């Protein structure tokens, strides 16, 4: 069995059998492609059905020099999933990742921004900058407001559609991981900035495939994930923010600020689209002073 055929079959399995999103599928496939590249670089001729544990271990040791514990764990997990699929389909008898332990990663607390930092980021947007008489700054402001006020993942943001906006009811429909949909409240302020962007959007010659996509580039196509990262990175640089941030930082800040202001953890879970509340509970560890204040306010024997 050739690597290319194995990957195609694996992709089909992840999509049809496991119902994973395209982003998740690409992430799993990248893990296998890293192994293939290693084999090519070291002139190792081994098929996916014949490769043994010693070769996989050599690969893991080689790449681990440039990866932190969390990335190492993610890589091992991805490879284990691939070879488990091959075993499941009877392409091979054993999984070479069996008994290879992942490094201990602990629980990483999310980075967050203060409300003042977020205000500074948004204020740094150049609203006068335009392409073909289209004021892209209005789009960027609407993007940051939406990420922060609705707690969206970057993939959810770039796939947000005009038909997902239910402003009269005060909600947007969000398609999350595994194509699961949820309704998220949206504030009047964010609605206002999206409406301003929609006025600019009418000036764009939109590509046929993106007629319903909310956020577009000036050429009329859907934005990429990389573009959202670049917008936020450039704004952080403009205000001399001494933090490495990403779109996910705004999502973390959304959850943290809600919790600090007394929001119910279950409500935050629903808005973030977490399947398990244990995922949301990580925000309980971000601000221990907030937990102390809750105890002092509500416990009968404080």
267 is written with which tokens? 């409500």
Among 34, 161, 225, 274, the one annotated catalytic = 274
Closest CA to 57 of 193, 70, 44, 68: 44
**Annotated catalytic residue, options 141, 251, 252, 257:** 251
Strands 130-131 and 165-166, how do they pair? unpaired
Burial zone of 103 (CB within 10 Å; 0-12 exposed, 13-18 middle, 19+ buried): middle
From 177, 218, 225, 290, active-site residue: 177
Q: In this structure, is the dihedral angle defined by the CA atoms of residues 39, 44, 50 and 51, taken in order, positive or negative?
A: negative
Report which secondary-structure segment, H or E, holds 54: helix 53-64
Residue with tokens 């953890």: 265
Among the listed residues 53, 74, 233, 248, the single catalytic one is 248
Distance CA 233, CA 124 (A): 12
Determine which one of 85, 135, 193, 283 is catalytic.
Answer: 283
Quick check: helix, strand or coil at residue 175? strand
| Known active-site residue 182 | no
* Beta carbons within 8 Å of 154's beta carbon, 6+ residues apart: 147, 225, 228, 229, 246, 247, 248
Element (H, E) at 36: helix 22-41
Q: Is 177 in the active site?
A: yes
Question: Which residue in the list 153, 201, 252, 257 is annotated as catalytic?
Answer: 153
The answer to whether residue 251 is catalytic is: yes
Q: Strand (E) positions, the chain?
A: 130-131, 134-135, 165-166, 171-175, 181-185
- Yes or no: say if 218 and 131 are a contact pair by the CB < 8 Å rule: yes
Active site residue 274: yes
Cβ atoms of 225 and 155 within 8 Å: the answer is yes
Tell me the C-alpha distance between 21 and 68, whole Å: 25
State which H helix or E strand residue 144 sits in. Answer: helix 136-150
> Which sequence positions are flagged as catalytic?
153, 177, 248, 251, 274, 283
């Amino acid at each position: 069995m050739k690597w290319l055929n194995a990957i195609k079959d694996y992709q089909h399995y992840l999509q049809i059998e496991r119902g994973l999103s395209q982003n998740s599928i690409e992430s799993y496939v990248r893990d296998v492609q890293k192994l293939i590249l290693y084999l090519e670089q070291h002139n190792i001729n081994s098929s996916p059905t014949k490769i043994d544990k010693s070769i996989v271990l050599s690969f893991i040791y080689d790449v681990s020099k440039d990866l932190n514990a969390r990335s190492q764990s993610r890589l091992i997990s991805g490879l284990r999933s691939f070879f488990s699929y091959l075993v499941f389909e009877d392409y091979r008898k054993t999984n070479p990742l069996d008994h290879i332990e992942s490094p201990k990663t602990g629980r990483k607390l999310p980075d967050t921004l203060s409300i003042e930092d977020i205000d500074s980021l948004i204020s740094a947007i150049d609203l006068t900058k335009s392409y073909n008489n289209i004021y892209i700054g209005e789009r960027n402001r609407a993007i940051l407001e939406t990420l922060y006020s609705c707690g969206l993942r970057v993939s959810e943001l770039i796939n947000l559609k005009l038909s997902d906006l239910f402003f009269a009811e005060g909600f947007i429909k969000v398609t999350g991981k595994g194509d699961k949909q949820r309704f998220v409240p949206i504030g009047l302020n964010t609605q206002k900035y999206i409406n301003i962007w929609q006025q600019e959007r009418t000036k764009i010659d939109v590509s046929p495939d993106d007629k319903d996509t909310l956020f577009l580039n000036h050429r009329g196509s859907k934005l990429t994930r990389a573009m959202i990262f670049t917008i936020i990175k450039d704004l952080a640089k403009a205000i001399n923010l001494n933090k490495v941030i990403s779109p996910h930082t705004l999502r973390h800040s959304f959850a943290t600020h809600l919790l600090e202001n007394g929001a119910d953890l279950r409500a935050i879970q629903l808005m973030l689209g977490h399947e398990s509340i244990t995922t949301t509970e990580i925000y309980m560890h971000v601000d221990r002073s907030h937990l102390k204040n809750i105890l002092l306010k509500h416990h009968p024997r404080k």
